[in-house]
Amino acid sequence: MNVAGSVTVGYGVAVGGSYSQSKINADYAGVNEQAGIYAGDNGYDVNVKNKVSLTGGAILSQAPKEKNQLTAQDFEYSNIQNYSNAKSSAMGLAGGVSFGRDQTSDEDKELNDIYRKGREGETFDQANPNKANESAVKFGLGTDDIHSTDLYALAKVGLTNLAGNSKQSENRQSTTYSVISEGNFNIGSDKGKENMESIKKSTEQESNKLEKVDYSKMQKDVEQDVATIQGFAKNVAGFTDEAYRTMFIAEHRMFTHKIDQNGKPVKDLDILNKINEEADKKGINREVYLEQQKDKGRNIYQLHELSDQERDRLQKVTYIDPITGKTEGKYVIAFNGIFNDRNAAAKFAVQNYVAGKNEQSGDINKRLYGGSYFVHHPEANNSFSELLIAGYEKMFEGAFGNVLGMDNSALQAVDLMKRYGKEDLYLGSHSRGTLTLSNALTALNTKENQEKQLLSGTTIKMVGPAADVTRADNKLSLLQTGTIRDETNASDSIRIENNALDPVGSMPILLGGNPATTSENNHNKGWLKRTLDMFSDKHLSVHNCHGLSQRQCINDGYRQEGDLRMGNEQTIFELNKSEGKSK
């Protein structure tokens, strides 16, 4: 039995411990050397007045049959069953508890210094709504993993300890046969004669010695099994911990671009310096490399994080609706997709959703930096955890609902819908961000909110949607009008942009499974090349060339020259209608 523990003291206290125990049960009975008469080459001569009885015994001779003689009134024999049985088991338990432990990541601490330092009197609680409901006492596997008090902690600790058990058993058997060498047998009784006829005849021993099970090795094996299982479980927990931290512990900050006195976005010198360093490292002219990055839409402008106080006085953005052609003024807030750091989220916030009119060309292609907001769902520190997050949020669309808890972005979407849903709210979302909005709609879709028509002033656009947009639109309709989507309220249907070749938006069941507004692939790239583009830093793809798009999308064949403007979106109601789909 082993017991271990550790205590970590810093911002709060974390206590962890482990317990392990192993045991073995063994049972052995066996013949090592067969007892009896060994006559060699001279033969044997056994003369017994009454009975000869062999129990796993031997009467052996190397001599010819005529030199071997046994005389007795009776003869009997039996064999001996040898056995070696062993059972071994081991168990390991681990757990930890923390009191007031600070689980703020180094990344969030750094971002706090960048965006919050020196802003006395402002608070940022709304960036982490789950924090308001957390308990000071939390549970985990040890002192260094993520601690919580919800179903995640129960599942992680419970499954890890449940898996931390191992058993082995081994059962060996053999038979030591009674044996006699051929000879002249004079047995008086009939039964004795029968026994002599049936006994095994040989000139060699038949002990069939049975080796004992290696008890020590078996015990070490089960202990190693437990250690391996627990090690694997803790490694898996490392990925799920990162997914949980990203969703429920990390700050999901609301940003906007910093604007100068002339209404222009302010360039971020740190980003520009980093771009220069990248150019130097690649051996590319700095100006040429900068233009390449701008063609991809890389954000080069400063961001400003909104405080709670600023969230209470959001500014409307004036834009041109590409469907109606009308000038609109709404609170525009975007939610980013998978594998987006904050600068990628900033890029899509001004690319995908609303734009102003270019006075010279008349096209709706003017990026609106001032007053457009986005809630940044942070990126996990590894790809597997990032995919786990997407899977978790996709699961909410099904029967699980929101019983497992909503992440910090979805809770903010719910709050924004409650606060601004009746007064010109525009919510944009891309990729996984569409699941954020879909799950927020699910959470709000109650009889009370339908009667209130809570979202009567809300417009939603979904781009490259991982969500089932038709399903989300049915919920939106109920929250807008109290009725299902039909011709009478079709204009308020969710707007969608989706490329038929984009698996995120178009693949059924596992992903979005949505109808398409385009299938643009001007270079006729095959499936493999299109997929590689989706994960490439060099190219853009069918998944991210929506809205105003970028010049790199023309180079990669997913948009055409002269078409970098708004206008490809349709309402999901009209799109389904044109394809003959029912709601």
The answer to whether position 287 is within a domain reads no
Point out the domain boundary residue: 251, 283, 310: 251
What one-letter code names the amino acid at 131? K
CA distance 133 to 578: 46
What one-letter code names the amino acid at 366? K
**256 closest CA partner among 372, 341, 178, 350:** 372
Q: Does position 583 have pLDDT exceeding 60, yes or no?
A: no
Average pLDDT, the chain: 92
At 104, is the secondary structure helix, strand, or coil?
coil
Whether 340 and 209 share a structural domain? no
The answer to whether position 462 is within a domain reads yes
Whether 60 and 143 share a structural domain? yes
Q: Residue 463: how many CB atoms within 10 A of its CB? A: 30
What one-letter code names the amino acid at 252? H
Q: How many domains is the chain built from? A: 2
Beta bridge partners of 172: 84
Whether 569 and 443 share a structural domain? yes
Beta strands in 254-300 (DSSP E): 254-257
The answer to whether position 568 is within a domain reads yes
The answer to whether position 383 is within a domain reads yes
Whether 334 and 224 share a structural domain? no
Q: Report pLDDT for 12.
A: 53
Whether 323 and 186 share a structural domain? no
What does the angle CA 42 – CA 45 – CA 47 come to, to the nearest 5 degrees? 170
The answer to whether position 131 is within a domain reads no
pLDDT tens digits along 428-453:
999 999 999 999 999 999 999 999 99
Split at pLDDT 50, 70, 90, the class of 4 is very low
Q: Which residues contact 453 (CB under 8 A, 6 or more apart)?
A: 422, 479, 480, 481, 482
Q: Do 355 and 429 contact (CB within 8 A), yes or no?
A: no
Q: Do 96 and 141 contact (CB within 8 A), yes or no?
A: yes
Whether 243 and 324 share a structural domain? no
Whether 227 and 313 share a structural domain? no
Q: b/e string for 143-174 if b means 16 or more Cβ within 10 A?
A: bebbbbebebbeebbeebbeebbbebeeeeeb
The answer to whether position 289 is within a domain reads no
Cα 381 to Cα 102, 156, 491, 569: the distances in Å are 19, 20, 40, 33
pTM: 0.83
Split at pLDDT 50, 70, 90, the class of 53 is very high
What one-letter code names the amino acid at 334? A
- Residues 69-78 have a mean pLDDT of 96
Q: Report pLDDT for 19.
A: 61
Q: Residue 286: how many CB atoms within 10 A of its CB? A: 14
Q: Do 561 and 554 contact (CB within 8 A), yes or no?
A: yes
Q: Do 20 and 93 contact (CB within 8 A), yes or no?
A: yes
Point out the domain boundary residue: 218, 251, 284: 251
Whether 506 and 564 share a structural domain? yes
The answer to whether position 109 is within a domain reads no
Q: Report pLDDT for 8.
A: 42
Beta bridge partners of 411: none
Whether 261 and 236 share a structural domain? no
Q: Which residues contact 5 (CB under 8 A, 6 or more apart)?
A: 15, 16, 17, 18
- Residues 70-81 have a mean pLDDT of 96
Beta bridge partners of 5: 17
CA distance 132 to 411: 12
- Helix (H) or strand (E) holding 88, with range, is strand 80-99
Pairing of strands 12-29, 80-99: antiparallel
Q: Residue 198: how many CB atoms within 10 A of its CB? A: 9
Q: Which residues contact 495 (CB under 8 A, 6 or more apart)?
A: 323, 459, 460, 461, 462, 569, 570, 571, 572
The DSSP-derived string for 9-26 is EESEEEEEEEEEEEEEEE
- Residues 49-59 have a mean pLDDT of 95
What does the angle CA 129 – CA 131 – CA 133 come to, to the nearest 5 degrees? 90
For the record, the structure tokens of 425 come out as 């709210």
| Angle between helices 432-444 and 469-481 in degrees, nearest 10 | 40
Cα 87 to Cα 90, 222, 289, 560: the distances in Å are 11, 10, 68, 72
Answer with the residue of higher pLDDT: 300 or 30: 300
Whether 344 and 202 share a structural domain? no
pLDDT tens digits along 313-370:
999 999 999 999 999 999 999 999 999 999 999 999 999 999 999 999 999 999 999 8
Q: Does position 210 have pLDDT exceeding 70, yes or no?
A: yes
pLDDT tens digits along 235-293:
888 999 999 999 999 999 999 999 999 999 999 999 999 999 999 999 999 999 999 99
Answer with the residue of higher pLDDT: 68 or 227: 68
- Residues 537-564 have a mean pLDDT of 96
Beta bridge partners of 497: 463
Split at pLDDT 50, 70, 90, the class of 552 is very high
For the record, the structure tokens of 56 come out as 């796993």
The answer to whether position 502 is within a domain reads yes
Q: Does position 103 have pLDDT exceeding 80, yes or no?
A: yes
Beta bridge partners of 170: 86
At 312, is the secondary structure helix, strand, or coil?
coil
Split at pLDDT 50, 70, 90, the class of 165 is confident
What one-letter code names the amino acid at 200? K
- Of 149-163, 187-201, 462-476, the range with the lowest mean pLDDT is 149-163
CA distance 508 to 393: 16
Beta strands in 289-361 (DSSP E): 303-305, 317-320, 327-335, 356-357
Q: Residue 132: how many CB atoms within 10 A of its CB? A: 9
Burial of 429 (0-12, 13-18, 19+ CB in 10 A): buried
The DSSP-derived string for 173-239 is EEEE--EE-S-EEEE-SHHHHHHHHHSEE-SS------PPP-HHHHHHHHHHHHHHHHHHHHHHHHH
Whether 470 and 566 share a structural domain? yes
Whether 305 and 342 share a structural domain? yes
* Structural domain harbouring 35: 1-100+136-251
Q: Which residues contact 232 (CB under 8 A, 6 or more apart)?
A: none
Q: Report pLDDT for 75.
A: 97
**Cα-to-chain-centroid distance, residue 14:** 26
Split at pLDDT 50, 70, 90, the class of 150 is confident
The total number of residues written for the chain in this structure: 583
